[in-house]
């Protein structure tokens, strides 16, 4: 389980003397991403990585509540004194990939989060998949180096012209953050004021 990470990107900060919840890491201070904060439950390692792989590649949807439960609580704690996002947007899949897989795991996680936030905290935050579309079928980011990752995502998304003020972007896993950052950039360029990332797991090693 993740704790005491950077408020913006959720990477661990090795400052044992500071316990404040709004600390920002050196990387985010020097190269601020386009998103404003990240809420993540787990470090992307076994067994979490196997459970997420089970959802994605073997349709083990029963793992969704198991993995998402903790994220719901973490979200509720994080927004205690702040306004919640207006809408939840799952990171879109290109239609070719969607057809092949049959579902978008980020959308399933987003739906579960919305239902739980409503049931447990009486919050109505709609999931709106129409706000962004993946218009280019990109290569898997894991096969590419940092520079190629950015290039791979160029013009990958098309964004609705009218956007709400704050968007919660949901993805199953964040590795380098290139995908959510590129999508955040496009959302901000299109008029959204703040993007918050909600994700099950964060990878540290890349």
* Binding to Zn ion, residues 14-43 (CB under 5 A): 25, 28
Q: Does 8 bind Zn ion (CB under 5 A)?
A: yes
Q: Do β-strands 132-134 and 157-159 pair in parallel, antiparallel, or remain unpaired?
A: antiparallel
Q: Report in angstroms how near the CB of residue 24 gets to Zn ion at its nearest.
A: 6
CA 54/CA 61 separation, integer angstroms: 8
Q: Round to whole Å and give the CA distance between 24 and 9.
A: 8
Q: How many amino acids of this chain bind Zn ion (CB under 5 A)? A: 5
Helix (H) or strand (E) segment spanning residue 171: strand 166-174
The reply on whether position 2 binds Zn ion by CB under 5 A is no
Q: Which of the ranges 2-10, 104-112, 133-141, 146-154 carries the binding residues for Zn ion, by CB under 5 A?
A: 2-10
- Shortest Cβ 12–Zn ion spacing (Å): 10
CA atoms of 35 and 182, how far apart (whole Å) = 9
In the bound state with Zn ion, the residue whose beta carbon lies nearer, of 18 and 58, is: 18
Q: Cα separations (Å) of 172 from 30, 31, 49, 175, 180?
A: 26, 24, 10, 10, 11
Site string for Zn ion, 40-79 (x = CB under 5 A): ----------------------------------------
Which of 2, 3, 6, 187 lies at the binding interface for Zn ion (CB under 5 A)? 6
Q: Given the structure tokens 């704690």, which residue do they identify?
A: 77
**Which positions touch Zn ion (CB under 5 A)?**
6, 8-9, 25, 28
């Amino acid at each position: 389980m993740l704790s005491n990470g950077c408020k913006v990107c959720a990477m661990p900060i090795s400052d044992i003397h500071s316990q404040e919840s709004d600390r920002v890491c050196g990387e985010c201070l020097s190269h601020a991403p386009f998103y404003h904060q990240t809420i993540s439950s787990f470090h992307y390692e076994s067994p979490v990585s196997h459970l997420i792989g089970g959802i994605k590649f073997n349709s083990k949807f029963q793992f969704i509540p198991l993995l998402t439960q903790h994220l719901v609580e973490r979200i509720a704690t994080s927004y205690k004194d702040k306004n919640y996002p207006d809408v939840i947007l799952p990171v879109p899949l290109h239609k070719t990939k969607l057809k092949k897989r049959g579902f978008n795991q980020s959308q399933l996680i987003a739906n579960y989060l919305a239902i739980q936030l409503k049931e447990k905290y009486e919050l109505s935050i709609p999931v709106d998949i129409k706000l962004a579309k993946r218009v280019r079928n990109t290569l898997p980011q894991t096969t590419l180096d940092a520079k190629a990752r950015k290039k791979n995502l160029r013009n990958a998304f098309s964004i609705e012209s009218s956007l709400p003020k704050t968007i919660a972007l949901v993805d199953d896993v964040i590795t380098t953050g290139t995908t959510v950052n590129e999508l955040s950039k496009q959302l901000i360029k299109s008029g959204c004021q703040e993007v918050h990332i909600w994700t099950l797991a964060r990878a540290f090693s890349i």
